[in-house]
Amino acid sequence: MSRMSGKPWGLRLLAIFAAIAVWFSASFVKRERVSEKLIDATVTYNPARGTVILDPIQTVKVRLRGPDKQIRTLAPHVVDVVIEVPGLATGTLDIQLDESNVLRPESFEVLAIEPNSIALRLDREKTQMLRVSPRLVGEPAAGAEPLSPVARPDMVQVTGPESILAGITAATTSPISLDGHALTFKQTVSVVPPDPLVRIIQPSVVTVEVPMHFPGADTDEASARDRAADAGRQENP
């Protein structure tokens, strides 16, 4: 009987030890230190099609709270603030930010967002054609002078905010160096967006021909032709 009664007691002791272990583990988790951290979070905008944000804020500060060990190693790139921008809107739009805008690991709680509201200036997106204006730099060979450069093609398609494109008539190119040039030459160059919010659609590169001439050369040629004509008249009076 003593052997039979010993087995239940052994199982009871094992169950008691298991319960103590579970209790101790749960108590340790509860006692784990909680800390806070201020993160410079990147702001990601999802504008509706046809809507452009004129001056988007790039970052906001997000204060998070979570387990001490995890928050000490928390990298800013894993925290992101996402803003959905409605379409068919122009002018200024106030966006209120809360924890639903913050993408972060599940173990962290959002305590505050600074600023907690953003004023966005919105405009309509427009596509139009712009004239290409080649940009010449440097000094040609001694005595040579450039004439008006010609871009081929001479028009490019761009897209950007309607209000910005209204004041732009041309897009420049990357610099074309005249250094050392005495004869007409061609160069393929990139088209430069006229504003950071304007994007070049096509073509992104053009070929520019730069005519070169020497001042007085045309006059000398005309004088030579006149002298030849005079000589001809004298020979045939």
The CATH number linked to 167 is 2.170.120.40
Instruction: Please tell me whether residues 195 and 173 are part of one structural domain.
Output: yes
What residue ranges in the chain does DSSP mark as E strands?
A: 34-47, 51-53, 59-67, 80-85, 91-96, 102-103, 109-114, 117-133, 136-137, 145-146, 150-152, 155-161, 170-172, 176-177, 185-190, 199-202, 205-210, 212-213
Instruction: Please tell me whether residues 147 and 106 are part of one structural domain.
Output: no
Q: Is residue 111 domain-resident?
A: yes
Instruction: Please tell me whether residues 129 and 151 are part of one structural domain.
Output: yes
Per-residue pLDDT reduced to its tens digit, 7-28: 566 666 666 766 666 655 655 5
| Domain C-terminal end among 63, 90, 115 | 115
Instruction: Please tell me whether residues 134 and 170 are part of one structural domain.
Output: yes
Instruction: Please tell me whether residues 148 and 170 are part of one structural domain.
Output: yes
Residues 6+ apart with CB under 8 A from 106: none
CATH number at residue 94: 2.170.120
Total domain count, the chain: 2
More confident residue, 234 or 41: 41
Q: Is residue 236 domain-resident?
A: no
Instruction: Please tell me whether residues 88 and 164 are part of one structural domain.
Output: no
Q: According to the model, what pLDDT value does residue 231 have?
A: 47
More confident residue, 122 or 224: 122
| Domain C-terminal end among 115, 135, 157 | 115
Q: According to the model, what pLDDT value does residue 19 have?
A: 66
Instruction: Please tell me whether residues 192 and 161 are part of one structural domain.
Output: yes
Instruction: Please tell me whether residues 104 and 84 are part of one structural domain.
Output: yes
Instruction: Please tell me whether residues 111 and 129 are part of one structural domain.
Output: no
Q: According to the model, what pLDDT value does residue 8 have?
A: 67
Q: According to the model, what pLDDT value does residue 38 have?
A: 93
Structure tokens at 98: 């809360």
Backbone angles phi, psi at 102, to 5 degrees: -100, 120
| Domain C-terminal end among 115, 148, 183 | 115
How far CA 176 is from CA of 16, 172, 198, in Å, comes to 85, 11, 22
How far CA 39 is from CA of 35, 98, 115, in Å, comes to 13, 15, 13
- Burial class of 50 by CB neighbour count within 10 A (0 to 12, 13 to 18, 19+): exposed
To the question of pTM greater than 0.75 for the whole model, the response is no
Provide the mean pLDDT of the chain. Answer: 85
User: Pairing mode, if any, of strands 170-172 and 205-210?
Assistant: unpaired
Residue 88 backbone class (left: φ over 0; alpha: ψ -120 to 50; beta: rest)? left
Domain that holds residue 167: 125-214
